[in-house]
Structure 1
């Protein structure tokens, strides 16, 4: 019965786009990994948007192309929503702000770029900031993870040693009596 239930849940979730969008949004809310993933996505999005916009591609075309770059359905849906609002005449920063997914830094930089006519430069700054932040975050995580993994490996080896020597010790004690 558990395997049947797992199969039904798997079939439901595999074909359900709303579930995938919800799950991807939930992953972005995770404390450490979600924050890091969101920064990676924002850096990638801003970088590609800046490159395409600098090439003379219209904003709406840039957004359509950037929808799938993120690799996250929640971000893809938010970019799509922002694109629809921009197509309806909304401002770029206001459209992204209304999605409630993009961080305040991205919104502020979009607003500055939109108001000054330097959207490409603003997006490049966002990309640079988040790329640097991601590298620093990964370095910090590695420094924290290394001692944890060392202790974990030591405990695992201790468990193996105890599992090997305890029966031998029990035999020696039993024969000594």
Structure 2
């Protein structure tokens, strides 16, 4: 697979689409996976598929083989497991193909939205550095020679600039150590649980994240229910699709409540994870005996909702970043340069 995220996701999309076509034509995975290898030019992906083909030929399940390859996202391998268990691998692969194509397109839009503000930020940092290390010291030198007094905010600005200049390597090392510490701690089970919970409950991205969870959960549940599994069996199977320890724990509580006799929609409502409309749809589907169809529809609906919310956020990124950077530069000019110019003008 490509090293870049976009290339990686497009590789996944193409792989899943080709695999679905092979299965649709009636070819068994034992014969089909070597065919995928032949059409793959990326060495890393080709090697992974060769390993999978060998494992499947020796009797391994498709899910186990994909997971053992250690080359694919957890969501993809979890969905392959659902497809394999339910006998619906072909539609699962088609869904994965569309999912990763959308992921690649979304990443492209985000990159496009932040490129201009990033270039502008670098330019403004250069301007501020020029002001801090060249222009302001020159003004201060002239002002001092004329007997003027340097404003307090200018002294603070110079002090901050000198501190960053002299201690840049120390600041960089501290940031790297902090990042490494956070990464190490995030692997601890308790902290990972808290971080996963934060993804769900934070007011900034929590809404979109819950919509994505609703889409994944309902889509996978629809497959399990169509295959004849019970709700309890289905919830246990789809937990890997959710990729969030907090959400998995909550859905586990829902599965336990269902096994004790509580209606599925009530158990899911009590988790507090899903939107109210999602719960109402589940309630309607459970009462009418069409829960599988409702869950399938809900999956598409909430994915569209998540995509729409993400597009709105992307639309705000560029103007907000540009405005913020412009205000920062204006603040520097107003608080530092203009007072110096005014003082020098009065002295002159």
> So what's the TM-score if we normalise by structure 1?
0.74
Q: Does 1:18 align with 2:183?
A: no
Give the 3 Å change call, closer, same or farther, for CA 36–60 of structure 1 in structure 2.
Answer: same
Give the 3 Å change call, closer, same or farther, for CA 12–55 of structure 1 in structure 2.
Answer: same
Partner of 1:29: 201
Q: Does 1:124 align with 2:306?
A: no
**Structure 1: gaps (5+ residues):** 159-177
Tell me how many residue pairs correspond in the alignment: 156
Instruction: Tell me the distance in 1 between the aligned counterparts of 2:194 and 2:268.
Output: 19
User: In the TM superposition, what whole-angstrom CA distance separates every residue of 1:5-47 from its partner, at most 9, and x where no partner exists?
Assistant: 96888766533x3332232112212223121111111111111
User: In the TM superposition, what whole-angstrom CA distance separates every residue of 1:45-83 from its partner, at most 9, and x where no partner exists?
Assistant: 111111221122222121011111111111101111111
Instruction: Tell me the distance in 2 between the aligned counterparts of 1:131 and 1:8.
Output: 34
Partner of 1:72: 244
Instruction: Report the CA distance between 1:146 and its aligned residue.
Output: 2.3
Instruction: Tell me the distance in 2 between the aligned counterparts of 1:88 and 1:146.
Output: 51
Do the aligned partners of 2:211 and 2:275 also contact (CA within 8 Å) in 1?
Answer: no
Match of 2:218 among 43, 46, 58: 46
- Which aligned pairs between 1:106-125 and structure 2 lie closer than 5 A? 106-125=278-297
Partner of 1:145: 317
Give the 3 Å change call, closer, same or farther, for CA 12–145 of structure 1 in structure 2.
Answer: closer
Instruction: Report the CA distance between 1:150 and its aligned residue.
Output: 4.7
SS at match of 1:67: helix
Instruction: Tell me the distance in 2 between the aligned counterparts of 1:114 and 1:28.
Output: 26
Partner of 1:89: 261
Give the 3 Å change call, closer, same or farther, for CA 14–150 of structure 1 in structure 2.
Answer: same
Per mean C-alpha deviation after superposition, the further-off stretch among 40-49 and 97-106 is 97-106
Do the aligned partners of 2:210 and 2:273 also contact (CA within 8 Å) in 1?
Answer: no
Instruction: Tell me the distance in 1 between the aligned counterparts of 2:271 and 2:259.
Output: 15
Q: From the CA coordinates, give the structure whose radius of gyration is larger.
A: 2
> So what's the TM-score if we normalise by structure 2?
0.40
**Structure 2: gaps (5+ residues):** 1-173, 330-348
Instruction: Report the CA distance between 1:149 and its aligned residue.
Output: 4.2
Give the 3 Å change call, closer, same or farther, for CA 128–151 of structure 1 in structure 2.
Answer: same
- Which aligned pairs between 1:150-169 and structure 2 lie closer than 5 A? 150=322
Instruction: Tell me the distance in 1 between the aligned counterparts of 2:234 and 2:246.
Output: 18
Q: Does 1:136 align with 2:323?
A: no
Match of 1:103 among 261, 264, 275: 275
